Amino acid sequence: PPLSCDEAVVQLVGDDECADVQQKAKQLRDSVHSKTECWVSIGIGDSPLIARVAASYAKPDKGSSGVVLVEPKQSKDFMATVPLKAIPGIGPVMLEKLQSLGCNTCEDVRRQRTETDLVTTLGKVMGSRVWAAAHGIDNRQIGSTEASGAGTGAQKSISVAVNWGVRLSTDTDLDKFLASIAADASKRLEERGFLTQAVTFKLMQRHPEAPVEPPKFLGHGMCNELTKRHVLPESTASAHRIQMALRTIWDDEFAKKCPIHEIRGLTAMLGKLKRKTS
């Protein structure tokens, strides 16, 4: 299933040797390039986690040829040196909590912390998930909502994120962009039959030491992240109200910290969801 507009996870079926799988991945990469003139990065592993992390190491700025394969017997050793920030689902807030425990890499978690330590700090679900990831364990099935990054159980939030190709110059550009994100968010609420009463605005700002244009064409590069939540007076699915909430956060919190031309990514996360009644 797709993970985002430019990422997907697939399960290979058969008994091919690793060398054969790697060759097929290279052929797929060449095929995509011949049709789109874009180079893709491919990670291969025995679980969604290993494959996704391997794909991040397959990017051109990591000095890779575009395909990274991690054999099953290498999974645990491969994950040892992986920084915790590279694990899907670990954002700045969670990373800060892990760093407060003295953990920056998966190996740090293995050597210094028990699963109970992580559960106490991060909560039961994420604590257990991070502990398992640090040990190279991922038992999710391809095609599940967990493996595709959609979470488990009752839906608690709906997000719209654009972190590629974001290059804004004026306040008008920003307003149009916020309107587009709000319209998409409203559409997703309507499709799922939800209303929202909380809008969280996550903004990626180019890091002061990052180049204006990163190695990945129109990518966001190294960024600082700003986050703020706005609670609405009543539940809604209105695109206009969502846009106004985002704009309020920008005006009150972000405008004084981030010049518009330094914005590299925007996310609207809708929380406090409730079912829409007819």
Residue numbers of the chain with a pLDDT score lower than 50? 1-3, 144-153
Q: Report the distance separating Cα 115 and Cα 80, nearest Å.
A: 16
Q: Which residues are catalytic?
A: 7
Contact 232, 241 (CB under 8 A): yes
Q: Report the distance separating Cα 134 and Cα 81, nearest Å.
A: 9
| Beta-sheet pairing, 67-69 with 42-44 | parallel
Computed over every residue of the chain, the mean pLDDT equals 86
Among the listed residues 179, 169, 227, the one whose alpha carbon sits nearest the alpha carbon of residue 201: 227
Contact 42, 29 (CB under 8 A): yes
Tens-digit pLDDT profile for residues 73-130: 888 889 988 999 888 778 777 888 999 999 999 999 999 999 999 999 888 888 898 9
pLDDT at 144: 46
Q: How many residues does the chain have?
A: 278
Amino acid at 239: A
Tens-digit pLDDT profile for residues 262-274: 999 999 999 999 9
pLDDT at 90: 82
pTM for the model stands at 0.56
